[in-house]
Amino acid sequence: MPVSALPAGLVIREAEADDLPALVALFAADALGGHGDTTDPAAFDDYRAAFAEILKDRPAVRLFAAELDGRVIGTFQLVVVTSLPGRGARRALLEAVQVEAGLRGRGIGEALVRFAIEDARRAGARSLALTSNKVRLDAHRFYRRLGFANSHEGLKITL
């Protein structure tokens, strides 16, 4: 989706420190995520520290905010790495895609993902991967509709 085709009023930009409360609220409202995110002010130092780490890892790691009419309503993170397989292929990983629940179904999520795809291409990535919780069946259909395929089995260990 070219920038000119974004839903009316939608702006996608790199996140700034002032966006943190809105971004944290998006994750805290996600009942399926199971990440333990919270808007409790006592936890905010953890989010500030994580944001500082993300900023240090630019341009390989970038956090984006989506604004609609001046209000943050979505986010995603894009990570680009170079690996030895594929003769030094650059690969991208899409993480933490969120759109405010009441605004889903309006093309915002699609705009975020298409923006991420184009940004990964500009960074020279040959592929863009993502993981999605197995209980997110609607999200899986959404990603398949955008061209993503179940090409690998994802595994995880809690450390």
Report whether pLDDT(79) > 90. Answer: yes
Domain of 118, CATH number, reads: 3.40.630.30
Q: Is residue 78 part of a domain?
A: yes
Specify which residues 130 forms β-bridges with: 94
Q: Is residue 88 part of a domain?
A: yes
Q: Are 10 and 108 in contact (CB under 8 A)?
A: yes
Q: How many structural domains does the chain have? A: 1
Structural domain of 22: 13-145
Q: Are 114 and 146 in contact (CB under 8 A)?
A: yes
Q: Is residue 154 part of a domain?
A: no
Reported as a pLDDT band with limits 50, 70 and 90, residue 53 is very high
The CA-atom distances, in angstroms, between 106 and each of 5, 12, 47, 71, 109 are: 13, 15, 28, 16, 8
Reported as a pLDDT band with limits 50, 70 and 90, residue 5 is low
The packing angle between helices 137-145 and 108-122, to 10°, is 50
Which strand ranges, in their side-by-side order, compose the sheet holding 90-99? 10-14, 61-68, 71-82, 90-99, 125-130
Task: Give the C-alpha separation, 80 to 13, whole Å.
Answer: 17
